Amino acid sequence: MSETVLITGCRSGFGLGTAVAAARAGFTVYAGLRDLATAEDLERAAEGLDVTPLQLDVTQAHQREAAVARILDERGRLDHLVNNAGIALGGFLEQIEEDELRRVFEVNVFGAWAMTKACLPGLRDGGGGSVVMVSSMSGRMALPTLGAYAGSKFALEGLGEAWRHELKPFGIRVVLIEPGAYRTDIFERNRNVCRRYDDPQGPYVPWVRSGDRLHRKIVERLAGDPAEVCDHIVRCLRDPSPPLRHPIGPLARPRATLRNFVPFAAVELIMERLLSWARED
């Protein structure tokens, strides 16, 4: 009998790609979608594969519980969870309103925490398995204008590291996937900025448009193929003893090196020069 994996946030990007890659690798996949009406791309990509679209908004307790209950009822087991659902928010932290910041943490942190809690009894009953947290290199190094997103991913890193220790006695493996820049909808079609981002009276006006240009150049020239991350997640599902952290992508390892081995003062200087270069005169 094939192993069963629940993946959240499967409308596009890493979620959709991982659902397809996992099914091709022989897993039975339940693909969570915040709105089942958006399943068209997933169904097209997964045609002929063992992928079941599932109504699942990770911020809604009744949907979390119903999703897990359905999987256990239909399959009798749950072997893996991939916490992929997430949202980004661009903007200098001073520009961001409280409701906007809370929404980012509600999805990226509380949603992943609650989804994991809902799945743990089933994972334990099955003798173990894995929990994959799709984090980000922004969870290791915060960049200007991505402070809200980075804050949520720093929190996710802490949850994942603690759960790695707490769940090991039950045979449940916890890994943190830390992508760098990739061509996904979270920073393209689904890019989200705070309401005051373009405020013409705000103190950050000189940096906003040039920062947008810098972002576009990074995506166009350096962002990788999301399939690389999706395939790596599937390898983690099969690995009996994966490392905790998995920095991956064209910009991930240099950022990890900076974070781990370069004094923060040097990193601060790089960021200062980056902002200075991006500023519109």
Beta strands 28-33; 129-134: pairing state? unpaired
Q: What is the pLDDT of residue 185?
A: 63
Q: Which residues are catalytic?
A: 149
Q: What is the pLDDT of residue 34?
A: 97
Q: How does pLDDT run along the chain (281 residues), one tens digit per residue? A: 899 999 999 999 999 999 999 999 999 999 999 999 999 999 999 999 999 999 999 999 999 999 999 999 999 999 999 999 999 999 999 999 999 999 999 999 999 999 999 999 999 999 999 999 999 989 998 888 899 999 999 999 999 999 999 999 999 999 999 998 776 665 555 578 999 988 888 898 887 766 666 666 666 666 678 999 999 999 999 999 999 999 998 777 777 777 777 788 887 887 777 666 655 44
Q: What is the pLDDT of residue 281?
A: 43
Q: What is the pLDDT of residue 262?
A: 75
What is the number of domains present in the chain?
1
Distance CA 118, CA 221 (A): 40
Single pTM value for the model: 0.91
Give the phi and the psi of residue 90 in degrees, each rounded to 5: -95, 150
Domain carrying residue 98: 4-278
CB contact burial 30-67 (16+ within 10 A = b; e otherwise): bbbbbeeeebeebeebbeeeebbbbbbbbeeeebbeeb
6: left (phi over 0), alpha (psi -120 to 50) or beta: beta
Q: What is the pLDDT of residue 279?
A: 58
**For position 129, which CATH number holds?**
3.40.50.720
